[in-house]
Amino acid sequence: MRWGGLEGSGAAPLLGAAVTPTLRAGVSRAILTPPIGIAHAGWGVQTHQRAEGVDMDLLATVLVLANGPVEAALVDVDFCVVGRDLANPIRQAIADLCQIPFAHVRLSYTHTHSGPMLGPSWMTEGEELIPPYVASLPGRIAGAAWEAKQRLQPVRVAAGTGSSDIVVNRRLKLPTGRVVAGRNWDGFADREVKIVRIDDLNERPLAVIVHYGCHPTIMGPPNRLITPDYPGVVRRVVEQATGAMCLFLQGAAGNVHAIVDFVGDVAVYHRLGAILGHEAARLALRLETVPRRERLVRVMESGAPLGIYADEPVGEPDGTLRVATQAVRLPVREYPPVAEVAADARARAAELAAMRGKVDDEALCVAVGLARRAGMLADKSRQYAGILEVETELHGIRMGDVALVGFAGEPFSELGAQVKARSPFLHTLFSGYTNDYLGYLPTAAAYPDQGYEVDTSPFRPGAGEQVVEASLALLTALRA
């Protein structure tokens, strides 16, 4: 266990005592929308290469927290995958500019599948725009973090829980036994919505964190526009309702997606995002960050006897801020030699390039799919060939009675639900898509049926359950 620092007693104040909250927070934002024409999305069945327009801007929203000498930064960005080679420079830029320890910076990506490519792929067009765009990101996001730190002020925190049914288990088993990405209404899907509201001392909302697990793949292969998918709409709805800046933290979404998915109609993601956003806004508006108790003051004689109440503060919420990480070593599969699969990936990409403009869309889609799969296998081989296990870090932040845990991959929905159910905290937000990308993290029970998530996962059975136990160890330490 590695600690970044401890602050705050966590003890309940005496009723009526004048207590000044020690937790401070500031929030800011940068627009990260890439240039039109950049290599786009990366679906294995898409026929286009460049983004042809923008439906909604992509954002980076940064929440900086402080309690005494302890500071932390929580970053929410609208990207599909952010590996360590980009996550670390972003986190380091924030650490350097804001003088926040590197380990205290958490980068969370929403996993939208309709954003830009951030590295080399099978595409032959639009990749020339990637390097300058990616090079600009650390500075732009660090600037938003610096501005958030300048806005630090005393705050109070409250959290709540609701539900939204826009998500469904996506591992559909066909009569043939094949598992495809469809609608498995009988499969498990965690529909819980978690809300964290952060207010100034006048109870005006400064920031709202929305936590929900659902693949942002509503905008599928037909889509040619840059979008944040439904998380962008969620933020907009919550911000319009509360006046606060909203961060979206993706949950354990490895085996779940939206009830309408893989389409090219922007109206669909706007509708589903609004459904989730209005539930999140409802929860946020109902929360109160100052604990109160009611007292009947008197009865006013009117046409009817009227009870007049005073809702009196009964102390301050817990202002504890803690940051910690938990190392975990996970068993990985055996992969073929890098040279072998990399050569196949290059050959597939060359075949695809030669076919463009000479074959119909159906044949082109087949070639794109083969090139995409070969490239994915080559990437996994570069990352894992020759090793038996990989070490990663779980990232934990505590704000009073709220705990945030992040894993560097795509955990199945069941794993997130287990962590939340067994957590020592009243409110636990367990996420994937944090600080790196390692791949899918299935449950052990999913392996016999195989399917895309299992087939492409680098992990052996049991790795998911190890992450659950390591997360609980981290939460226990944060709670202590």
Within 8 A by CB and 6+ apart from 56, the residues are 226, 227, 228, 232, 233, 236
Query: What gap in Å lies between CA 7 and CA 24, rounded to an integer?
Result: 12
Q: What is the pTM of this model?
A: 0.92
Length of the chain in residues, anyone? 480
Cβ contact 452:253 at 8 Å: no
Within a 10 A sphere around the Cβ of 319, how many other Cβ atoms? 22
Within a 10 A sphere around the Cβ of 327, how many other Cβ atoms? 12
pLDDT score at 9 = 31
pLDDT digits (tens, 9 = 90+) for 87-115: 999 999 999 999 999 999 999 999 999 99
Within 8 A by CB and 6+ apart from 247, the residues are 27, 61, 63, 74, 76, 207, 208, 209, 210, 235
* DSSP state for residue 45 in the 8-state scheme: T
Burial 40-69 (b: 16+ CB within 10 A, else e): bbbbbebbbbbbeeebbebbbbbbbbbbee
The β-bridge partners of 123 are: none
Helix intervals (H) in 264-337: 266-286
pLDDT score at 361 = 79
Beta-carbon-side half-sphere exposure of residue 30 (alpha carbons within 13 Å): 20
Q: Which residues of the chain have pLDDT under 70?
A: 1-21
- Beta strands 245-250 and 205-212 are parallel
pLDDT score at 459 = 96
The full DSSP string for 392-406 is EEEEEEEETTEEEEE
Query: What gap in Å lies between CA 449 and CA 174, rounded to an integer?
Result: 11
pLDDT digits (tens, 9 = 90+) for 306-360: 999 999 999 899 999 999 999 999 999 988 888 888 887 788 888 878 888 888 8
* DSSP state for residue 83 in the 8-state scheme: -
Within a 10 A sphere around the Cβ of 189, how many other Cβ atoms? 23
- Cα–Cα nearest to 202, from 240, 245, 155, 148: 155
* DSSP state for residue 63 in the 8-state scheme: E
Cβ contact 169:213 at 8 Å: no
Dihedral class, residue 451 (left if φ above 0, else alpha if ψ from -120 to 50, else beta):
left
Query: What gap in Å lies between CA 247 and CA 228, rounded to an integer?
Result: 13
